[in-house]
Amino acid sequence: MTIIPTDTPEPGTNLESDVIELSDRLRAAPAPAQPPRVLAIANQKGGVGKTTTAINLGTALAAIGETVLILDLDPQGNASTGLGIDRKSRTYSTYDVLTTQASLRDAILPTAVPRLHIAPSTMDLSGLELEIGQQRDRAFRLRAALAALNAGAVEAHYSYVLVDCPPSLNLLTVNAMAAANAILVPLQCEFFALEGLSQLLKTVDQVKQSLNPELTIHGVVLTMYDARNNLSGQVVADVREFMGDKVYDTVIPRNVRVSEAPSHGKPVLIYDLKCVGSEAYLRLATELIQRERELKKAS
Ligand SMILES: Nc1ncnc2c1ncn2[C@@H]1O[C@H](COP(=O)(O)OP(=O)(O)O)[C@@H](O)[C@H]1O
Ligand SMILES: [Mg+2]
């Protein structure tokens, strides 16, 4: 963007007001962009609501004015499909980005939701570990790609990046954790909810010690809560006892509209804004932003 006035009068005629105008324009020029907050949505268990949370929390954040990028790091590509991105349009994917064959900017596609973009994935991603597993920078590929994106044009800047991780603690998840400010852990309200959580927390600790000292747990979100099932209530109590105030107040209910929406290629907030699932994801977005404010105040 140019900051030089285009309607400059004849040289030497109005120098003083020109200087004032120029300094006003300088003040109005956008500040250098803040780096986005990068949240890795991780749990090595499959089917706990990672992808559903990435899509719908991303949509809810965009709905309340944030600019959001979802990074699909699961070879299954469910976040991409659930946002209506068909395979043909995935010219560049997160696989190309992590193998440095494309920049993140090349891979990003808009979605039907204003302010929500996605870098889609393809099945190739499942071979990544074999391909780059011996490279010294293998764990930092995503962090480097995000840094390059943020150094680029202002139009490509986001306030939140949500990384949809695969159901495994593999190199893809490690890349997400090495690039993230914080981890968001979806836990399904089922009997074995806490099983595997200590392994996940151990991995977070290891990444913190070796790759990313700033990494924190942003929060744990309980998903697929069923009020008619006594077990759900017990799981909520157990998880709150184990994880304390890391657990978000918002609990995502089991809701058939949430599970129907991806087959229409839509977030549930677009598919049925009024359903309890949409309401819950909007509340979660508000709570997340509130938590972010508290974190900023504390730092
Ligand atoms: N709140 C919910 N209510 C009903 N079904 C849900 C809900 N959250 C997720 N699901 C369904 O559960 C399945 C697993 O969710 P998904 O987000 O794909 O998990 P993950 O990414 O952890 O493997 C999907 O079929 C999804 O539609
Ligand atoms: Mg998934």
113-117, 130-134, 150-154: least confidently modelled range: 150-154
> In this predicted structure, what is the pLDDT of residue 24?
54
Q: Tell me the per-residue pLDDT of 203-253, one tens digit each, with 9 for 90 and over.
A: 999 999 999 999 999 999 999 999 999 999 999 999 999 999 999 999 999
Q: Tell me the per-residue pLDDT of 10-32, one tens digit each, with 9 for 90 and over.
A: 444 444 554 445 455 545 545 55
14 located within any domain: no
10 located within any domain: no
Q: Whose CA is nearest to atom 13 of ligand 1?
A: 47
For the segment 99-119, the average pLDDT, to the nearest whole number, is: 97
DSSP strands (E only) in the chain: 37-41, 68-72, 109-110, 116-119, 160-164, 182-188, 216-225, 247-253
20 located within any domain: no
pLDDT band at 299 (very low <50, low <70, confident <90, very high): confident
Complete DSSP assignment for 140-203: GHHHHHHHHHHHS-GGG--SEEEEE--SSSSHHHHHHHHH-SEEEEEEESSTTTTTTHHHHHHH
Residue from 41, 52, 271, 281 whose mutation best tests the ligand 1 pocket (most atoms within 8 A of CB): 52
267 to 107, 169, 255: CA distances (angstroms):
20, 26, 13
Percent of the chain with pLDDT over 70: 89
Instruction: Please give the number of the atom of ligand 1 that sits closest to the Cα of 259.
Output: 27
> In this predicted structure, what is the pLDDT of residue 31?
52
**Which single residue is written with the structure tokens 């946002």?**
83
CA-based nearest residue to 241, from 218, 216, 220: 220
146 to 38, 162, 244: CA distances (angstroms):
9, 12, 32
d(Cα 13, Cα 11) in Å, to the nearest integer? 6
pTM higher than 0.85: yes
19 located within any domain: no
More confident residue, 40 or 17: 40
pLDDT band at 169 (very low <50, low <70, confident <90, very high): very high
CA of residue 74 to ligand 2 center, whole Å: 7
Token couple for 22:
């120029």
d(Cα 58, Cα 68) in Å, to the nearest integer? 6
DSSP 263: G
CA-based nearest residue to 250, from 281, 209, 290, 218: 281
CA-based nearest residue to 190, from 13, 20, 46: 46
167 lines ligand 1 (CB under 6 A): yes
Structural domain boundaries enclosing 37 = 33-298
> In this predicted structure, what is the pLDDT of residue 236?
94
13 located within any domain: no
> In this predicted structure, what is the pLDDT of residue 250?
98
17 located within any domain: no
Q: Whose CA is nearest to atom 6 of ligand 1?
A: 259
- CATH number, domain with residue 102: 3.40.50.300
More confident residue, 156 or 105: 105
149 located within any domain: yes
CA of residue 16 to ligand 2 center, whole Å: 60
> In this predicted structure, what is the pLDDT of residue 28?
52
For the segment 93-116, the average pLDDT, to the nearest whole number, is: 97
Count of domains forming the chain: 1
Q: Whose CA is nearest to atom 2 of ligand 1?
A: 254
Q: Is the pLDDT of residue 283 over 90?
A: yes
Instruction: Please give the number of the atom of ligand 1 that sits closest to the Cα of 167.
Output: 23
CA angle 176, 135, 150 (to 5 degrees): 45
1 located within any domain: no
- The residue type of 296 is K
> In this predicted structure, what is the pLDDT of residue 21?
52
CB distance 271 to 260 below 8 Å: yes
Residue from 183, 225, 259 whose mutation best tests the ligand 1 pocket (most atoms within 8 A of CB): 259
**Minimum-distance ligand to the CA of 53?**
1
> In this predicted structure, what is the pLDDT of residue 191?
86
More confident residue, 124 or 195: 124
